Each structure stands twice: as C-alpha cells, then as structure tokens.
Amino acid sequence: MTIRVLLADDQALLRATFRILIDSDPHMTVVAEAADGQEAVALTLEHRPDVVLMDIRMPGTDGLAATAGICARTDLSGTRVLILTTFEDDENVALALRSGASGFLGKDVGPDVLLAGIRTVAAGDSLLSPTATRALITRFLASPTDDVPLAAPERLALLTEREREVMALAALGKSNQEIADHLVVSPLTVRSHVSRAMTKLNARDRAQLVVIAYQSGLVRPNLGS
C-alpha cells in the first residue's frame, strides 16, 4: 500500500527537497504541495492524502489553524497531520496536539527519521516519544487555555477498567511494549485496548487519547517533576 503525502510549507525549495526524499521511497508518493494553510486544507479536501506534512509558520493561515481545520472534519478522518517545523518548542508541540496533529518533528531530523515518522503517523500512532509526552503534558496540556474545552470526565464511563488503565499508562508516556510488560499481556492486546478506547472517545489517534486522559482528569501530571 502506498502512503499518499501532501506537503505544506511556504518554502518552495524545502517542498522540492521533501518531494524528492518521499518519492524515493517506493511505498510513498507526494500527491500535492501547498504554500500556505488555506491551500493545505483545500488540497487535502481534494486529494484526501494519508498524511499531511505541515509546517507551522506560513503566511496567512498558519499550520496550526490548518491542522485544526483538517482534523475537525469527519470526512477527513483518514488523514493524519505530521507537524514538521524549525520552531521546535514545547508550546508549539502542545498547540499542535490540541489542533489534532498526530506527530511532531523538527526540520533538522535525518531522512530516515522523517520517512519513519510518516510511516508511524500513517499507521495511526503518535510520533511523540515517552519523554516528550511527559514533559509536554506536564507543562501545557494540564493547563488548557480558555478556548480549549476540557474533556468531560463522564466520557471515561464509556471505557472498561482495563481500557482506562491502558489509557492512563499511555498518558504517562509508556510505549505499548512497556505497558504490556507492566500488565503482563501482549503488545497486541495493548494495541487493541488503545484502539477501542480511541473509538469510544472519538480520538483520532494515540496523541489525542493522551490529551483526553489529562484533560478529563484520568491522569494528573506531577508538576514538581
């Protein structure tokens, strides 16, 4: 299966470089390029890519607004957004996740890391490492801004006890293998619990599931760490 990618970056040279790299992978292809956020949303609607590789800082509609516009549409539920930017700070990571992004990479990553990131996000997984997840949640997602509503704790009633347990461990930044070792189950079982929790809570991916875990109060950050 070929992963279809849309590039959104205001720098034509970077888009050309990314296109060459992505098209060099026999299992990926670039279907369109956008120079700003508004164009990214329009081309995503037109081409329905599997992954949008999105820059944050673009003229007019920026990457975060474009990400929110894409992720808010139910008819684009099959499209994942991977943020790729030079502005690699925790606040941008938090804003990207709140907007619905599935992953976040700095533009200084190597070619292999970028291609692996696209594959990871296309598979429906979050690209954040456990360490990055813990730091991110502790600093930002635990204190949402006024325009970001909290996830209602009542939503957790939809989950089984084991699904809540797995969701809480994921929110602590643990990988599927670490959760499996902790619960003495297989990684496949963990993945199934994560998938069911995502479905019940209407989370697009693991990253949003982690956000919901903190916003609903299932897990509370250790602000002293």
Domain locations in the chain?
A: 3-127, 147-215
pLDDT value at residue 209: 85
Q: Would the pTM of this model clear 0.85, i.e. be above it?
A: no
Q: How confident is the model at residue 89 (pLDDT cuts 50, 70, 90)?
A: low
Fold of 147-215: Arc Repressor Mutant, subunit A (1.10.10)
Q: How confident is the model at residue 146 (pLDDT cuts 50, 70, 90)?
A: very low
Spatial distance between the Cα atoms of 194 and 126, rounded to a whole number of angstroms: 12
The CATH number of domain 3-127, selected from 3.30.70.20, 3.40.50.2300, 3.40.140.10, 2.40.50.140: 3.40.50.2300
Q: How confident is the model at residue 50 (pLDDT cuts 50, 70, 90)?
A: very high
pLDDT digit string, tens, across residues 91-136 = 777 777 778 888 888 788 889 989 998 998 898 777 765 555 655 6
Residue 84 or residue 91, greater confidence: 84
Of the listed ranges 149-158, 171-180, 208-217, the least confidently predicted one is 149-158
Spatial distance between the Cα atoms of 197 and 169, rounded to a whole number of angstroms: 13
Please name the amino acid found at residue 139.
Answer: R
Q: b vs e for 186-216, b when ≥16 Cβ sit within 10 Å of the residue's Cβ?
A: eeeebbebbebbbeebebbbbbbbbbbbbbb
pLDDT at 196 over 60: yes
For residues 200-214, give the mean pLDDT.
Answer: 83
What are the angstrom distances between the C-alpha of 168 and each of 20, 52, 127, 140, 173?
Answer: 40, 28, 18, 17, 9
